[in-house]
Structures are given as C-alpha cells and as structure tokens.
Amino acid sequence: MSLKEILSQVKSKTKSAVLQLFTPKEFKALLMFLGVGFAVLLFRGEKKLFYTLYPPSKPNELAIREERNDSLFAALSAKVINEDSLKFSLPPDSILIKEKDYIAEHKKGKDLPLHSIPINKADADAFAKLPGVGKVTAERILTYRSKRGRFRDVREVMNIQGIGEKKFKEMAQYLRLN
C-alpha cells in the first residue's frame, strides 16, 4: 500500500465521519471558526507564539534588532506605567513649564512675612495681599469686622463667605489678632 492510497483512505474515512456529524455548511462554518480562533491566538500571543509554532530557520539581524528594541520599549513602558498612567513629559522649553514657574514666582503672599497682617486693624489692600483673597473677599472681611466687632480668634475668618478651611490654611500664617 502506497502513501497515496493511505492518504486517500484516511481522507475518505474522515470525510464520511465528518458528514455523519455535520452538514457541509456546518463543516465550512466550523473550519472558519477554527481558522479565526487560530488567528486570534497568533495575534494575542504575538511573535512568541508564531515563532514557537513556526521557528525561523536562522535568526536574522533584523529580527534580533527588532526584539532588542521591543524589549527596551517594554522596559521603559513598564517604568512609566508603574509611576503614573496619566503622566506625560513636556520639553524643557515648553510654555506650560515657564507659566508654572511664573505663577510660582509671583504667587500672592510669597513676600509677606509671617503674622504680618493684624486682622483687627488691616485695611482692604492689606487683606488683598493674602493668598486666595481678592478685593471682594477683602471687602467681605471688612464688612464682617464692622458688623460683628473685633475678631476674637483668627479662625473666626472662616465665618466669612468665600473663606473655607482650605483658603484659611493658606492665609492663616500671615494673620495675627493685634
């Protein structure tokens, strides 16, 4: 018995067994699903799975260089992912960096000495120098002081509309009672 006869015999037995289980359309659909499934496995398994199934005859220089570049990219990507997934870098001459530095240099209250503003005697201009306080809030402080009288505690400033705990923490270091 030759190889050709063996193959034809296996083919006919396989075909008869398949036709007992499936119609021709079902068999074509099954082959299609198996093909798509195999393609998905190759795609998800990337090059490793493909090269496991079909190893190259000899590693060429391009494949070696590509693997080295991929490993460097993967290492850098893993480092960035571990740091912060929303982090991005800006070039050193970026406008955003310069703007950040400008804001930090010109932040209100930067040049104010600690406990330099007497809360019971200061005017609107003095209050406007505080971080987080503009002209409107400064006027509210003066209005509150004129209606209620002298401040008995620095924390009493938080009773004024527009000054919460966060803003108070920013300005408290510059305030004093007398």
Looking at domain 117-176, its CATH class is mainly alpha
Question: What residues does each domain of the chain span?
Answer: 10-59, 117-176
pLDDT of residue 143: 93
Global pTM value: 0.43
What's the pLDDT at 9? 86
What is the per-residue pLDDT for 3?
85
Cα of 173 vs its chain's centroid, Å:
34
38 close to 45: Cβ distance less than 8 angstroms: no
Rg (CA), the chain: 38
pLDDT tens, residue order, the chain (178 aa): 788 888 888 888 887 777 788 888 888 898 899 888 888 777 776 666 666 666 666 666 666 666 666 666 666 665 555 555 555 565 666 665 566 555 555 566 667 888 889 999 999 998 888 888 889 999 999 999 999 989 999 999 999 998 999 889 888 888 998 7
